[in-house]
Amino acid sequence: MKDLSHMLPASRNRSQPRANRPLPLSGIDYSESHRKPQVLGKLVIAVIITAVCILILKQSPSFSGPSKFSRHEPGVTHVLVTGGAGYIGSHAALRLLKDNYRVTIVDNLSRGNLGAIRILQQLFPEPGRLQFIYADLGDAVVVNKIFAKNAFDAVMHFAAVAYVGESTLEPLRYYHNITSNTLVILEAMAAHGVKTLIYSSTCATYGEPEKMPITEVTPQHPINPYGKAKKMAEDIILDFSKGSDMAVMILRYFNAIGSDPEGRLGEAPRPELREHGRISGACFDAALGIIPGLKVKGTDYPTSDGTCIRDYIDVTDLVDAHVKSLDKARPSKVGIYNVGTGKGRSVKEFVEACKKATGVSIRVDYLERRPGDYAEVYSDPSKINRELNWSARRTDLQESLSIAWRWQKSHLNGYESASVVAL
């Protein structure tokens, strides 16, 4: 945190000299009595000026004054979770809170759910544990104020638009949202001395590599605006951290699935974005009869069964990778890790697992390819296994989908129907 306290004595000094100048020692200064009001007046003015300066500094984004969320409790790490109302961000916030971190969530609720925040608040009502700030990361002034009022120890930056298909239709939205919000966060971190960043990146930054599995040194050639924008954000972060004492972890997620095994949180995409939705949401929507059937997009890929291959990683394992990254983040070091199981599964395999998990014979329609899709991606997670001692634990696709299905069935309207916190 940037210390501006040195500015206060300086301004006070500037207002002091004449008022504090020692009186002449020769003889009785008869003017003393009539000079007193003058001196007092100057003192009052000096005090007013100092008070005004302090007020201005407090309003200013660079003031590092404490708030109730400051580092009051020694040893308790305060993490800013951007996008904490979203699917992965809310699961990360839950895990951090369970592990005794203090959490501030910033979310503009454009894609996330207030219902997820409410559940976290019910679970962690103690003052000072969880703070929710409804704000847009595009607003640099507001973001600066948030940093000024809170002494964050680390940032987990989840907030972003994240649908591959949508990114091909609305590229500017994706480039803007992903790069400029990251810039605002980095600038605020620099201005307020926050040195640790865990960044949510994606396997989409690799595009369609020639060799599988994908390692962290596999060349990145993204093929859709989502992947390209995430690669740009990675580059911005890497350039920014070069030669600094920043501790940076970039996590390249493969395909997140599943939900909290205790049924408190789930995946609740916006109904209006259904057409861009991910395979997991589409499968559940089809099983629930919300949509007539699942559309498998593309059956002529050069894969074993003609459908795309992805590496599905359970969200609880994914957030575990974040906590381990936070723990292992070190000043002046950048860590880049793939977060996946290391196993590729086709869309057809996914659909079969989903049918078993839901017990519903989902109707499947086969369609053309979706623009922006790549045939096959799956990770080599050996670097994260080795360096962070992390490995995926819930690797049974059907098990992850069964857990997520339980939440879906009990939340037919997403978080809107969540009147009870299931423990």
For residue 80, the one-letter residue type is: L
Instruction: Work out how close the CB of 170 gets to ligand UDX at its nearest, in angstroms, rounded to a whole number.
Output: 14
Residue 397 touching ligand UDX (CB under 6 A): no
Instruction: Work out how close the CB of 338 gets to ligand UDX at its nearest, in angstroms, rounded to a whole number.
Output: 12
**Contacts (Cβ under 8 Å, ≥6 apart) of 47:** none
Instruction: Work out how close the CB of 281 gets to ligand UDX at its nearest, in angstroms, rounded to a whole number.
Output: 8
Instruction: Work out how close the CB of 358 gets to ligand UDX at its nearest, in angstroms, rounded to a whole number.
Output: 15
Pick from 69, 101, 163, 407 the residue near ligand UDX by CB under 6 A.
Answer: 163
Spell out the long-range contacts of 348-352 with Cβ–Cβ below 8 A and sequence spacing 24 or more.
348/296, 348/305, 348/307, 349/305, 349/397, 350/279, 350/283, 350/310, 350/312, 350/397, 351/283, 351/294, 351/296
Pick from 320, 373, 376, 380 the residue near ligand UDX by CB under 6 A.
Answer: 373
Pick from 92, 117, 155, 164 the residue near ligand UDX by CB under 6 A.
Answer: 164
The enclosing H or E element of 327 equals helix 315-328
| Segment interacting with ligand UDX (CB under 6 A) among 17-25, 58-66, 159-167, 191-199 | 159-167
325 close to 251: Cβ distance less than 8 angstroms: yes
Instruction: Work out how close the CB of 299 gets to ligand UDX at its nearest, in angstroms, rounded to a whole number.
Output: 9
| DSSP label of 15 | H
Residue 339 touching ligand UDX (CB under 6 A): no
Alpha-carbon gap, residue 307 to 370, rounded angstroms: 11
Closer by beta carbon to ligand UDX, 132 or else 174 = 174
Residue 255 touching ligand UDX (CB under 6 A): yes
For residue 165, the one-letter residue type is: G
Cβ burial, residue 48 (10 Å; 0-12/13-18/19+): exposed
| Segment interacting with ligand UDX (CB under 6 A) among 67-75, 137-145, 157-165, 412-420 | 157-165
Alpha-carbon gap, residue 231 to 101, rounded angstroms: 29
Pick from 42, 295, 383, 406 the residue near ligand UDX by CB under 6 A.
Answer: 295
Residue 253 touching ligand UDX (CB under 6 A): yes
| Segment interacting with ligand UDX (CB under 6 A) among 48-56, 108-116, 158-166, 187-195 | 158-166
Residue 250 touching ligand UDX (CB under 6 A): no
Q: Is 101 a known active-site residue? A: no
Residue of 101, 206, 226, 301 marked catalytic? 226
Instruction: Work out how close the CB of 112 gets to ligand UDX at its nearest, in angstroms, rounded to a whole number.
Output: 14
**Contacts (Cβ under 8 Å, ≥6 apart) of 82:** 89, 105, 106, 107, 137, 155, 156, 157, 158, 159, 181, 185
51 close to 42: Cβ distance less than 8 angstroms: no
Closer by beta carbon to ligand UDX, 104 or else 205 = 205
Task: Tell me the torsion sign for CA atoms 278, 283, 288, 290.
Answer: positive
160 close to 178: Cβ distance less than 8 angstroms: yes
Task: Tell me the torsion sign for CA atoms 270, 200, 240, 324.
Answer: positive
Pick from 105, 156, 185, 203 the residue near ligand UDX by CB under 6 A.
Answer: 203
Residue 308 touching ligand UDX (CB under 6 A): yes
Pick from 228, 278, 355, 394 the residue near ligand UDX by CB under 6 A.
Answer: 278
Residues that bind ligand UDX (CB under 6 A): 162-164, 202-204, 253, 255, 278-279, 282, 295-298, 308, 310, 347, 370, 373
Give catalytic residue positions: 226
